[in-house]
Amino acid sequence: MVRIFLVVFFSLLASLVQAEGYEAITLEFDTQRNGGDYTQFRVSSAQECARECERSSQCQAFDFYSSDHSCWLKSAAYPARKSYGVVSGAKNRGFTRRVEPASVDMSISYDTQRAGADYTRFQAQDVHQCSQRCSRDSRCAAFDYTTSDYFCYLKSWIPSSRRYRGIHSGVKRRYFPQVKSVQEILIQRRYNPGPADGVMGNQTRIALEYYQRDHQLYVTGRIDDPTLVSMGLLQPLPAPPVVQAVAAEPPPASKPAAEPEVEKERWSAEPEAASREVATPPADASAQGDLLLYVNTVGVTYLQMKDNIYADILARIPAGIKLKVLLEKGEWYKVSYQNQVGYVLAESVAKL
């Protein structure tokens, strides 16, 4: 009995340790990740497919097809693309996703009432003081302010509005300043993301995909670091200073010992030619030194199998890694990283 208890206890402990270090997988609807499949089976829902991926240490991403309820587990998380009827998701391990805090904005409508959902009331000088109290209260979602008796009514949810003279109403709206800045840039460049309201909607995501495709970025439909750098909203990491090695000067040659007169006459022309041969460096060495090119990754860079943004990804290179360029091909560099040879976008690295 004790042995059975210990086996169950350590199996539960192992599952907890295995799950540690992973963030919860976020379901990405109408999204597909091609490649990396190592097994497939049928499940009842996309949530169950995500749980199966979380329990497997080999799984890094998944695809769930709603047409036949098939779940495909993947050993690598390749870039996502739009595919209707498919739900995808990927693990994030080894780093914490940067979450931008939301800002609060109050939208005030005059001669409007939202009846119901009141949880407290108090007297306020004007509608703006009532609005400030609602914005500071985490429970408040909307308010009504009556001009007849100066009462402010805070509401726990947002009821429907109706016209009512002498009552002013307001609604709390949460938005993300970074999303709003991206939407404003997309509007300026005529990508039609919808209103710049700071909310990441489907229209903004589609406009972002078009922008990423036109600027040869990875098409993710998300606000990632390469996209922010391309828009000028994020400064790339500065390249580390290049330290050039100074070659040590050769020691001065010692004077040859005096030789007999007969030997000097015999070798009078040869030492001069020999000294010229030693002093002149080989032409190949200088030419090879001029052709060496190194780059430094300014952000997370993907090493791809071919010079194409849709090619398979070989490795995920962190920021600040120095790479030796083997070949420069248009907007791509052929480099070597961890015994793998592939291509990186020139926009994602900086020359040293």
Least confident range from 19-33, 166-180, 328-342: namely 19-33
Of 17 and 212, which is predicted with more confidence? 212
pLDDT of residue 97: 41
How far does the chain reach from its first CA to its final CA, in angstroms?
66
pLDDT of residue 122: 96
22 pLDDT exceeds 50?
A: no
* Secondary structure, 3-state, the chain: CHHHHHHHHHHHHHHHHHHCCECCCCCEEEEECCCCEEEEEECCCHHHHHHHHHHCCCCCEEEEECCCCEEEEECCCCCCEEEEEEEEEECCECCCCCCCCCEEEEEEECCEECCCCEEEEEECCCHHHHHHHHHHCCCCCEEEEECCCCEEEEECCCCCCEECCCEEEEEEEEECHHHHHHHHHHHHCCCCCCCCCCCCCHHHHHHHHHHHHHCCCCCCCCCCHHHHHHHCCCCCCCCCCCCCCCCCCCCCCCCCCCCCHHHHHHCCCHHHHHHHHHHCCCHHHHHHHHHCCEEEECCCEEEECCCCCCCCEEEEECCCCEEEEEEEECCEEEEEECCEEEEEEHHHEEEC
Integer Rg of the chain from CA = 33
Among the listed residues 36, 32, 79, 65, the one whose alpha carbon sits nearest the alpha carbon of residue 309 = 79
pLDDT of residue 297: 87
Q: Which domains does the chain have, with CATH numbers?
A: 21-90 (3.50.4.10), 103-175 (3.50.4.10), 177-231 (no CATH), 291-351 (2.30.30.40)
Do the strands 151-155 and 142-146 form a parallel or antiparallel pair, or are they unpaired? antiparallel
Give dist(CA 140, CA 133) in Å, integer. 9
pLDDT of residue 320: 84
Among the listed residues 144, 135, 143, the one whose alpha carbon sits nearest the alpha carbon of residue 102 = 135
- The band of 240, judged by pLDDT with boundaries at 50, 70 and 90, is low
- The band of 5, judged by pLDDT with boundaries at 50, 70 and 90, is low
pLDDT of residue 183: 92
Give dist(CA 152, CA 130) in Å, integer. 6
Average pLDDT for 247-274? 51
Q: Per-residue pLDDT tens for 291-343?
A: 578 888 877 788 888 887 777 788 888 888 888 888 888 888 898 888 888 88
CA angle 296, 344, 22 (to 5 degrees): 85
What percentage of the chain reaches a pLDDT higher than 70?
Answer: 74
Structure tokens at 68: 């036949």
Cβ atoms 118, 184 nearer than 8 A: no
Average pLDDT for 181-186? 92
